[in-house]
Amino acid sequence: MSEALMSTYARQDLAFERGEGSYLYTADGRRYLDFGSGIAVTALGHSHPRLVKALQEQAARLWHVSNLYKSPEQEELAAKLVAHSFADKAFFCNSGGEANEGAVKIARKYWAAKGKPEKYRVITFDGAFHGRTLAMLSATNNKKYLEGFGPKVEGFDHVPLNDLKAVKAAITPETAAIMVEPIQGEGGIRVVPTDVLRALRQICDENDLLLILDEVQTGMGRTGKLFAYEWADIEPDIMSLAKGLGGGMPIGAVLATDEACSGMAPGTHGTTFGGNILAVTAANAVLDVMLEPGFFDGVQRRSSYFRQQLAMLSDRYPDLIEEVRGQGFLLALKTRIPNGDFQAALRDEHVLGVTAGDNTVRLMPALTIPEKDLAEGISRIEAACRRLQGQMQAEAAK
């Protein structure tokens, strides 16, 4: 059957039939602890009763009407996102890459509408990942992903991460915006310190640039606050979201201030599926759960416990784990052995992690994961470390 699927993924020989909370189950009843959350997507775990109920009720009522008509569901979601963020307006799309395309279009249009169409370039950072569309490949600037897809889309300038001097040197009269992930996800959970985020905000203010935050991976509570920028006490002009927003339903969003999206008149941007009622219904339910009092306190408390336990593991297995990185439940182990081998050892212990750049394995449990599931995860990760260490010692003794 798999012969009919285009071979764009190196899939594991492993399929799941059912999910509940932090666990995934195979058809023959094997149980895996899901620390990948579908690459940071299933923010409330699997089969969350509030999401299931909301979707079941909506599925029986209405699925899709297009963006030709008013959408009370989209209006509700936009109002909630705006009320809890820097933004004045939201636009809904289907994915992170699309949200970033929208963000860059909004920034370019802003300057064009102000009579400065020459300001269209965006500064991005080495190690970034902004998506797989042609423009976002160019924004991402990863050779491996660009190879064979023709000339790069014009308009992106790349500088080393956290290098403010390089950022300033890259600004020209054509620069429209700076785009950055508060924590680089696919790049290997490389954190942008809060003082660097603040400095980027200041550079934008001083040079008349828009600040675009790509919070596709960091947003929706992943770092322990609804949006990662809140840790730095700054506000962007434009922000992209996706992944956790729909709790597993595909939806992306671009949020912007009134000023930043002032160029976006009817007809300037659009999508057939974006803001689809089922996806928006899921996102409304996700937000309702996250906005309940104490939700983020719980995420911060349980994620600090998890991080502490991981730090203790890295102390016990220094030949295997170089560093624990990240914030909240967006964590990674930088491993001293190939990260794919470490990930495979975790899988053998029925723990699912996701590899990322810089030889890391990401651990991104559901934000709702109870402490007992985290404790079980730690003991399984330790079992994987013990086995890997034993193999290394046996190799060395040969």
Pick from 99, 58, 63: nearest CA to 81: 99
Which of 100, 257, 276, 309 binds ligand PLP (CB under 6 A)? It is 100
Q: Which range, of 43-51, 125-133, 256-264, 272-280, touches ligand PLP by CB under 6 A?
A: 125-133
Do the beta carbons of residue 116 and residue 175 sit within 8 Å?
A: no
From the list 183, 215, 279, 242, the residue with the least C-alpha distance to 86 is 215
Q: Find the shortest distance in angstroms from Cβ 106 to ligand PLP.
A: 16
State the amino acid at position 40 in one-letter form.
A
Shortest distance, position 237 Cβ to ligand PLP, whole Å: 17
Query: Which of 181, 237, 349, 373 touches ligand PLP (CB under 6 A)?
Result: 181
297 is annotated as an active-site residue = no
By CB under 6 A, is residue 157 in contact with ligand PLP?
no
| 214 a catalytic residue | yes
Q: Are 249 and 279 in contact (CB under 8 A)?
A: yes
Q: Which two tokens stand for residue 262?
A: 């002032």
Q: How far is the CB of 372 from ligand PLP (least distance, A)?
A: 29
Residues linked to residue 152 through DSSP beta bridges, in sequence order: none
Q: Are 223 and 325 contacting, i.e. CB atoms less than 8 angstroms apart? A: no
Neighbouring residues of 179: CB distance < 8 A, sequence distance ≥ 6 = 100, 103, 104, 122, 123, 124, 128, 130, 139, 212, 213, 214
> Any contact of residue 101 with ligand PLP (CB under 6 A)?
no
Pairing assessment for the beta strands 156-159 and 23-25 based on DSSP bridges: unpaired
Residue 118 CA to its chain's centroid (Å): 31
Q: Note whether 214 binds ligand PLP by CB under 6 A.
A: yes
- Which single residue brings its beta carbon nearest to ligand PLP? 96
Site string for ligand PLP, 131-150 (x = CB under 6 A): x-------------------
**Total residues contacting ligand PLP (rule CB under 6 A)?**
14
Q: Which of 43, 189, 212, 216 binds ligand PLP (CB under 6 A)?
A: 216
Q: With the C-alpha atoms ordered 144, 148, 151, 153, is the resulting torsion angle positive or negative?
A: negative
129 catalytic residue (yes or no)? yes
Choice between 253 and 381, CB closer to ligand PLP: 253
Q: Give CA–CA dist 386/380, Å, rounded.
A: 10
Main-chain dihedrals φ then ψ at residue 122, nearest 5 degrees: -125, 130
Structure tokens given for 246? 């729909």
Residue 370 CB, nearest distance to ligand PLP (Å)?
Answer: 26
**Among residue numbers 67 through 96, which ones bind ligand PLP (CB under 6 A)?**
95-96
Instruction: Pick the catalytic residue from 35, 86, 92, 129.
Output: 129
Binding interface with ligand PLP (CB under 6 A)? 95-97, 100, 129-131, 181, 185-186, 214, 216-217, 242
Catalytic residues: 129, 214, 243
